[in-house]
Amino acid sequence: MKKNLLKVISVILCLAVVMTGSAFMAFADGTAPDEAPFRISVTMNGDASTQRGFCWYTKANVDNAVKIYDELGAAVAATVTYEEVIEWDGNYCHQAVVSGLEAGKTYFYTIGNDKVESPVGTFKTDDGNDSFNFIAIADVQASSDENFAAAAKVVEAAQATMPDYEFIVNLGDFTNDSTNEEWDFYDKNFKAINASTTLVPISGNHDGLGVEHWFNNMFCLDTSESVQVKDGVNYSFDYGNAHIAVLNTNDILAMSNAQLKWLKNDMNGTDKDWKIVFMHKSPYSLGKDAKWPDALYLQKSLAKVLDKCDVDIVMSGHDHMYLRTKALENNKLSDDGTVYVLAGTAGTKRYEVRSFLADHYLDTDFIAAMTVQKNGYANYWNGSDWTQTKQTNVGGAFNCVSVNGGTLTVTAYVLADEPDANGNDVITVIDTYTITKETGKNEITFTGDNTTSELEYNLGIVPSFLRLAAYALGEWLPKFLFMLPDLLDVVINEGTF
- Chain contacts with Fe ion (rule: CB under 5 A): 173, 204-205, 318
Residue 141 Cβ vs Fe ion, minimum distance, rounded to whole Å: 7
CB closer to Fe ion, 71 vs 319: 319
Q: Each residue of 384-395: b (16+ CB within 10 Å) or e? A: eeeeeeebebbb
Residue 178 Cβ vs Fe ion, minimum distance, rounded to whole Å: 12
CB 268 within 8 A of CB 445: yes
Query: How far is Cα 281 from Cα 276, in angstroms, rounded to an integer?
Result: 15
CB closer to Fe ion, 176 vs 439: 176
Give the rounded distance of the alpha carbon of 441 from its chain centre.
27
Residue 383 φ then ψ, to 5° = 105, -25
Residue 63 Cβ vs Fe ion, minimum distance, rounded to whole Å: 37
Among candidate residues 279, 213, 244, 176, the one with its CA nearest the CA of residue 55? 213
CB closer to Fe ion, 170 vs 268: 170
Residue 145 Cβ vs Fe ion, minimum distance, rounded to whole Å: 21
Residues 6+ apart with CB under 8 A from 138: 170, 171, 172, 173, 280, 316, 317, 318, 342, 343, 344, 345, 346, 397
CB 257 within 8 A of CB 463: yes
Query: How far is Cα 494 from Cα 285, in angstroms, rounded to an integer?
Result: 20
CB closer to Fe ion, 64 vs 399: 399
Residues 6+ apart with CB under 8 A from 241: 129, 130, 272, 273, 274, 403, 405, 439
CB closer to Fe ion, 207 vs 431: 207
Residue 249 Cβ vs Fe ion, minimum distance, rounded to whole Å: 9
Residue 322 Cβ vs Fe ion, minimum distance, rounded to whole Å: 15
CB closer to Fe ion, 132 vs 215: 215
CB closer to Fe ion, 318 vs 354: 318
CB closer to Fe ion, 51 vs 141: 141
Residue 254 Cβ vs Fe ion, minimum distance, rounded to whole Å: 11
Strand partners, 80: 98
Residue 374 Cβ vs Fe ion, minimum distance, rounded to whole Å: 16
Query: How far is Cα 192 from Cα 188, in angstroms, rounded to an integer?
Result: 8
CB 121 within 8 A of CB 66: no
**Closest residue to Fe ion in the complex (CB):** 318
